[in-house]
A and B are shown apart, each in its own frame.
Chain A
Amino acid sequence: SQQGEEDPQALSIQEGENATMNCSYKTSINNLQWYRQNSGRGLVHLILIRSNEREKHSGRLRVTLDTSKKSSSLLITASRAADTASYFCATDAGGGGADGLTFGKGTHLIIQP
């Protein structure tokens, strides 16, 4: 069953601008993860935030988690053409990923040069 829902479904911005994507989910989680998928390829893990964390940074990425609202956001600062991809949030409700992640449908991000 789908748990994470990303918003917006598609986003087009100019290179250099910041991109923000949101994810909402329905049940309690151990952690929430963001992945990137370039066209026709496999997914690449970007960042994991645990349920007891509120914010996490990795390079130009900033992720926030609000467990009271069951939502997360991914901010990409100073976007580049190479950031063009689909971005998925995924929730881990089980122990250690043994039950599989539940993915949203993704946000397709286009960075205009």
Chain B
Amino acid sequence: DVKVTQSSRYLVKRTGEKVFLECVQDMDHENMFWYRQDPGLGLRLIYFSYDVKMKEKGDIPEGYSVSREKKERFSLILESASTNQTSMYLCASSLWGSGRGEQFFGPGTRLTVL
């Protein structure tokens, strides 16, 4: 079974802190994604990556950056956390190739920025 793990289930940070959210998948998937989920807004794509060192902006990249140095690991970075980044962050991965849109999600990190 595909397993996607995220470094923390719950995280509390202060405004202005630099925050790293880590995601690791064990199925050699090419694609990896970061979403945030907010009540009433559903899931919104922040960034995705289709290969090592490659990254693409999603719908809401402002205030975030990402890093993919190894195929299995995709990190989301909040350079200077703000209270409006309090949210549930979900990482996902999928195989490359047409017709294979199924994504496998991690358990999520609930981030609170005070």
- The interface of chain A, by Cβ under 8 A from chain B, is 1-2, 30-31, 33, 35, 40-45, 48, 50, 88, 90, 92, 95-106
Across-interface contacts of B88 in A (CB, < 8 A): 40
A40's partner among B40, B59, B106, B108 (CB-CB below 8 A) is B108
Chain B residues with Cβ below 8 Å from A90 are: 101, 103
Could you tell me which residues of chain B, from 43 to 77, have a CB within 8 Å of some CB in chain A? 43-45, 48, 50, 56, 58-59
CB–CB A105/B31 < 8 A: no
Q: Check if A100 sits within 8 Å of B107, measured CB to CB.
A: no
- In addition to A2-B42, A31-B101, A92-B101, 9 A-B residue pairs with Cβ atoms within 8 Å of each other are A30-B101, A35-B105, A41-B107, A42-B90, A43-B105, A44-B105, A90-B103, A96-B94, A98-B50
- How far is it, in angstroms, between the C-alpha of A2 and the C-alpha of B45 when the chains are bound? 10
Instruction: Known contacts A41-B107, A41-B108, A105-B40; decide if A98 and B96 are in contact (CB<8 Å).
Output: yes
With a CB–CB cut-off of 8 A, which chain A residues contact B33? 100
Docked CA distance A106–B95 (Å): 24
| Residues of B contacting A40 in the complex (Cβ-Cβ under 8 angstroms) | 88, 108, 110
Kindly state the separation between the CA atoms of A1 and B33 in the bound complex, as whole angstroms.
16
Known: A1-B59, A97-B94, A100-B33. A106 touches B42 (CB 8 A): yes
Contact string against A for B residues 75-93, beta-carbon threshold 8 Å, 1 for contact and 0 otherwise: 0000000000000101010
Q: Which residue of A has the minimal Cβ distance to B106?
A: A42
Q: Pick the contact of A30 from B42, B44, B99 — CB < 8 Å?
A: B99
A88 vs chain B, min Cβ distance (A): 7
Residue contact A104 to B50, C-beta cutoff 8 Å: no
* A92 nearest in chain B by CB position: B101
Q: Cβ of A101 and Cβ of B42 under 8 Å apart?
A: no
B108 near A96: Cβ-Cβ < 8 Å: no
The CA-CA distance from A101 to B42 in the complex, in Å, is: 12
